[in-house]
A and B are shown apart, each in its own frame.
Chain A
């Protein structure tokens, strides 16, 4: 590594921390989407109780797919921390 000063590492780590925090904003989407889907599912079951099994299956599958954007942001933020922040952090501790 070129002779990045101590403060250089601090800036990088703090930037990565802010970035991974911001990445988690995408968690709003699945929350709203799945809440809406569950509400509609309950209405559907209320309207047709005998179709509950099919509705439950579609609800769970729909939730799993709706959740993907939230999971992408989770993966990105964890990835950022584990690939950038941790090695640099160990570098600072090793100094």
Chain B
């Protein structure tokens, strides 16, 4: 089984790096890992985050005010890797910072930093040829988004191009907490299961322990992003502790690997 997803459901935690500063992000990430996060998505702040809702937009603006860059996020990843060897690390970014750095250089640096994979929000499989080649040459896992609006033919292509896991977007829309989970998510996971054996993580709008448990019923992992970023925003000065509390609450729901069937 993938070391990625230790538990059922596994917990994928997203943070916007550099919010409020990179040192604090490192503390937050290590605290989240200690509290039971299986995979960390290191979000690279971008000036024009078209796929993100207000919470991550605000975090990105804060992080960019002091110039947080992709290069710095990769350095942070290397630091985290030194401290935590068995947690999956994914770079979560928009495409342009990678293009500016150079796709090949990005993959090389990411590999040396001990990163496991990347998810590029605005890079669909059709445009990913060069990226996929460089990712695979460096033994990095490309994770792609699947959406409720993706027809089956696209799901097949997405699954074929992905490694590590497939990220199923729970609903149409931008990132951000929601009161209720749409039943779009379950339908999408069912459709994805028909075309892939890769583990499936569900993300977008998962903000409470109830959502997390609900997703656990049908998916392998749940991604919690905006709710983490909001916790960071609301707990100035004690960000890492607050995130640890939140992650602990979610992890308590998961079954340990011994209880896993299949």
A binds B: no
B residues touching A (Cβ–Cβ < 8 Å)? Answer: none
A residues touching B (Cβ–Cβ < 8 Å)? Answer: none
